[in-house]
Structure 1
Amino acid sequence: MKPVIGVMPLFDEEKDSIWMVPGYMEGIRRAGGIPLIIPLRCEGEDLGQLNDICAGYLFTGGHDVDPHLYGEEPDELCGRINNARDELEKRVFDMAWEMDKAVFGICRGLQIMNVFLGGTLYQDLPTQYVCARAGNAGMVDHHMCAPYDRACHQVDILPDTPLRRVLGRTEMGVNSYHHQGIKALAPGLRAMAAAEDGLVEGVYAPDKRFIQAVQWHPEFMGAGDADAAKIFEGFIKGCS
């Protein structure tokens, strides 16, 4: 049987509606899973019943993470937050962590997983992130313009990590559409990819069966992109 993957919902405040980027669903489907969008408001027995049929979870992109979750007041450049989504994802992540179920995060998914495990974020990279290298050397554009199915900067894939094993390469070009990022890496996570400016762009939990996340967007890369396909396939394999 194909594994059912619970997908964290996106939310549109203007339309007061849940929506979804097709690439998330197609990435799961092409990799051999069955995507299922989790309701924004779901808890208790309802969430437990859904968890019984979900082999893993995809934490999608979207809203900024509420800075209060990592002990900060929102900066004026922090974007729109959605407390209902933060709360849903906390319940799902805690449940998956406790039961050792597979979780894969993309963009916001990486950021909120880091926060849930005790890490912090830069609320706005352009104004808060200082490159570890001298001057502006190595700084990259983390917020590209459309189209998004192309690489805009490189990441180094760190040795002896799940991503290195899945892709079999030391670096790759990635798309990038985010203004927040990991500041302090959570104690339970390890880096598995980093941008040219030193920003952590891929993480995993070494003590869990499959807890991984990337900062870029494989869901936008399309069916013909081999690296994106391998990333989704690795996730689905991790659900078994």
Structure 2
Amino acid sequence: MSNPPVIAIPCRHDTSAYYSGREINSQNNSYIRAVVAAGGAPFLIPMEVDKPKLQALYRLADGVLFTGGGDIDPAFYNQTPHPATAGIQRERDTVELTLARWAIADKKPLLGICRGFQVMTVASGGTLYQDIATQLPKAGRHDFLQKRGGFSRDHLAHEVILDADSRLAKLLGETSFLTNSLHHQALKTISEPFKVVGHAADGVPEAIELPDHPFCIGVQWHPEELVEKTEHAPKLFRAFIAASAQSAEQDNGK
């Protein structure tokens, strides 16, 4: 029996009452469970690593998963902070942008979720709208959050429409479905050869992919919260893990 593919998941900084308010490296268990359920073996990458140590950890991974979280420092895409921009952790930005560029160059499977979708965008030279409500006032609502209306993380908020000829549509076997929506920022510009392959009904980009890469997909919604509620969410994780397993086999054959 072959070993399960190893999936690197960068942490974020939180504070813990258990540790008297000290800062800890953490990650949402929904991502961990989704990777495990799909057949992957996840490990967490802390933020306190320099580039050589980060590269050593990266080499252990067969795939990389970027998760949701606070906003990326807009300095990384040559903007100044909008008043609504919040939750910046530059250490996390640096770790994830570095990993994204490595995985893109090395053709290592990469899945970006919400903030992770935005990390992939910025890592490849794209830019973001820092606040949909004020910078895209004609767009619909996308921040269906607990703190802004009591919405659960698996609340199906709006439809996503995928390009029929996209890899993502073929992997999921669907071109439209309902998703949750927990973001207040959005993709503004994308750098080639990345392609926007999915939108909400209001035109806000919801999915990107990189042609000629084994698996490099970013989604603006949160499939980790929908694994037990939809058919498309577990399909996405299974496809990512399958691509990571294939990458591991190819590396072992070298």
TM-score normalised by L of structure 1: 0.92
Question: Separation in 2 of the partners of 1:73 and 1:15?
Answer: 29
Structure 1 runs of 4+ off > 6 angstroms? none
Give the secondary-structure state (helix, strand or coil) at the position aligned to 1:231. Answer: helix
Question: Separation in 2 of the partners of 1:74 and 1:44?
Answer: 26
Flag structure 2 segments of 5+ consecutive residues without an equivalent. 16-20, 146-150, 247-254
Q: Contact (CA 8 Å) 2:100, 2:119: kept in 1 or not?
A: no
Q: 1:186 aligns with which of 182, 191, 198?
A: 191
Superposed counterparts of 1:22-171, under 5 Å: 22-131=29-138, 139-145=139-145, 146-171=151-176
**Post-superposition shift, 1:140?**
2.5
- Show CA shifts across 1:129-173 (max 9, x none): 154xxxxxxx43201142121311001011111111011122000
- Show CA shifts across 1:81-132 (max 9, x none): 110001111221122122110110000000111011111100010000154x
- Show CA shifts across 1:165-210 (max 9, x none): 0111220000000100101122231012100100110000113221
Question: Separation in 2 of the partners of 1:15 and 1:161?
Answer: 44
**Deviating more after overlay: 140-149 vs 170-179:** 140-149
Question: Separation in 1 of the partners of 2:223 and 2:30?
Answer: 8
Matched residue count: 233
Residue type of the alignment partner of 1:127: T
**Post-superposition shift, 1:43?**
2.9
Aligned to 1:201: 206
Q: 2:7 aligns with which of 2, 5, 8?
A: 5
**Post-superposition shift, 1:23?**
0.9
Residue type of the alignment partner of 2:216: I
**Deviating more after overlay: 221-230 vs 161-170:** 221-230
Q: Contact (CA 8 Å) 1:119, 1:187: kept in 2 or not?
A: no
Q: 2:240 aligns with which of 232, 235, 238?
A: 235
Give the secondary-structure state (helix, strand or coil) at the position aligned to 1:216. Answer: coil
Question: Separation in 2 of the partners of 1:227 and 1:45?
Answer: 37
Question: Separation in 2 of the partners of 1:112 and 1:52?
Answer: 20
**Post-superposition shift, 1:15?**
4.3
Q: Contact (CA 8 Å) 1:10, 1:60: kept in 2 or not?
A: no
- Show CA shifts across 1:51-88 (max 9, x none): 22200100011010111111111111111211000111
**Post-superposition shift, 1:225?**
2.8
Give the secondary-structure state (helix, strand or coil) at the position aligned to 2:7. Answer: strand
Percent sequence identity over matched residues? 34
Q: Contact (CA 8 Å) 1:31, 1:232: kept in 2 or not?
A: yes
